[in-house]
């Protein structure tokens, strides 16, 4: 294992994000996906956390399985929503005991039903980060939104909050975006605020218009008209999928040329698009 901050200091990282499966069939499917992606030698994988901490046990079990059964360092997501300080301490103790060295600290989304909300001692990710620093020595990453967090008052405020988090953490991974200018603007704005910690861009290959449109709306990312027009020109589902993969490949090439510290792929628990992007970019495969 290694701290992700150290991996980024040594060179570019290439990483993947998964959601924890909720069934035996889902576990088998994710296991196949990870096996298919292992030859790409990912620097690490991250495992998401459901709204209101709803997948906390599934996240923990998935992270511990990846740590035990693969050679890929796992990074669990951890959220403010629905957690007390003691619960966070207990979760981190489990991870540290298993040899897990990194977490992604997030504010998190509230549960769909407000009545399901569990008590929480945290409101903002920075508060969670500060608690983590008092109880452990794990590497800590945070989330960045190139187009601004959907709950932020304005972009300038969002940038200041992100800069404050990055000053006391190791790196950030971004929400997905489709235009490189959004990423470059984010990095430049942070530099103007005196922060140059690594910000790893998040990549979402569009293989299903409706699905990504919903996700973009929730995350505050714009679904650009030029990409929609390209995708809608596809005559079959396979043509649409290939257009999405090609667009993501082009964005990755632009980011690498611009000096991005790595690439973080939102896989939706599937491997095909990511493997195709790797091949088109000519990235090394074990």
What would the mean pLDDT of 216-222 be, rounded to a whole number?
78
Query: Could you read off the pLDDT of 224-238 as tens digits, one per residue?
Result: 889 989 999 999 999
Residue 222 lies in a domain: yes
What would the mean pLDDT of 241-269 be, rounded to a whole number?
96
Q: Is the pLDDT of residue 250 over 70?
A: yes
Q: Is the pLDDT of residue 101 over 60?
A: yes
Residue 259 lies in a domain: yes
What would the mean pLDDT of 184-188 be, rounded to a whole number?
98
Query: Could you read off the pLDDT of 104-134 as tens digits, one per residue?
Result: 999 887 666 655 567 788 988 999 999 999 9
What would the mean pLDDT of 23-33 be, rounded to a whole number?
90
Residue 62 lies in a domain: yes
The one catalytic residue among 17, 38, 130, 239: 17
* CATH number for the domain that contains residue 109: 3.20.20.220
Quick check: is 239 catalytic? no
DSSP-assigned letters across all residues of 187-246: HHHHHHTT----EEEEE---S-HHHHHHHHHHHT----HHHHHHHHT-SSHHHHHHHHHH
- Across the chain, mean pLDDT equals 91
What would the mean pLDDT of 167-189 be, rounded to a whole number?
97
Range of the domain at 30: 4-281
- Please tell me whether residue 140 adopts helix, strand or coil conformation: strand
Q: What is the pLDDT of residue 114?
A: 58
Q: Is the pLDDT of residue 54 over 70?
A: no
Name the token pair of 165: 């988090």
Q: What is the pLDDT of residue 50?
A: 67
Q: How far is residue 146's CA from residue 41's CA, in Å, rounded to a whole number?
A: 27
The pLDDT-based confidence of 208 (bands split at 50, 70, 90) is confident
Q: What is the pLDDT of residue 128?
A: 95
Give the residue, 286 or 189, on which the prediction is more confident. 189
What is the tally of structural domains in the chain?
1
- Please tell me whether residue 252 adopts helix, strand or coil conformation: helix
Residue 57 lies in a domain: yes
Residue 286 lies in a domain: no
Residue 245 lies in a domain: yes
Highest mean pLDDT among 12-26, 170-184, 208-222, 231-245: 170-184
The pLDDT-based confidence of 214 (bands split at 50, 70, 90) is confident
Residue 82 lies in a domain: yes
What would the mean pLDDT of 61-86 be, rounded to a whole number?
92
Give the residue, 52 or 137, on which the prediction is more confident. 137
DSSP-assigned letters across all residues of 61-92: HHHHHHHHHSSSPEEEEEESTT--HHHHHHHH
């Amino acid at each position: 294992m290694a701290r992700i901050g150290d991996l980024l200091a040594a060179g570019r990282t290439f990483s993947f994000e998964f959601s924890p499966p909720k069934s035996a069939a889902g576990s088998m499917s994710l296991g196949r996906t990870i096996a298919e992606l292992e030859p790409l030698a990912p620097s690490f994988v991250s495992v998401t956390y459901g709204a209101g901490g709803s997948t906390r046990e599934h996240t923990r079990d998935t992270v511990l399985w990846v740590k035990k059964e693969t050679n890929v360092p796992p990074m669990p997501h951890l959220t403010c929503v629905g957690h007390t300080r003691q619960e966070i301490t207990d979760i981190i103790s489990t991870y540290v005991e298993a040899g897990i060295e990194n977490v992604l600290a997030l504010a998190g989304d509230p549960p769909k039903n407000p009545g399901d909300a569990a008590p929480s001692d945290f409101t903002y990710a920075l508060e969670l980060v500060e608690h983590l620093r008092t109880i452990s020595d794990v590497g800590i990453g945070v989330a960045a939104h190139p187009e601004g967090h959907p709950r932020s008052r304005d972009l300038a405020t969002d940038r200041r909050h992100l800069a404050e988090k990055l000053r006391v953490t190791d790196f950030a991974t971004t929400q997905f975006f489709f235009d490189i200018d959004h990423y470059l603007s984010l990095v430049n704005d942070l530099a103007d605020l005196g922060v140059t910690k690594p910000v790893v861009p998040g990549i979402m290959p569009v293989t299903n218009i409706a699905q990504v449109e919903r996700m973009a709306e929730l995350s505050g990312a714009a679904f650009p008209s030029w990409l929609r027009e390209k995708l809608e020109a596809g005559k079959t589902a396979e043509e649409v999928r290939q257009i999405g993969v090609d667009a993501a490949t082009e964005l990755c090439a632009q980011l690498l040329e611009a000096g991005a510290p790595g690439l973080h792929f939102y896989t939706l628990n599937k491997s095909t698009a990511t493997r195709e992007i790797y091949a088109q970019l000519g990235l090394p495969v074990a």
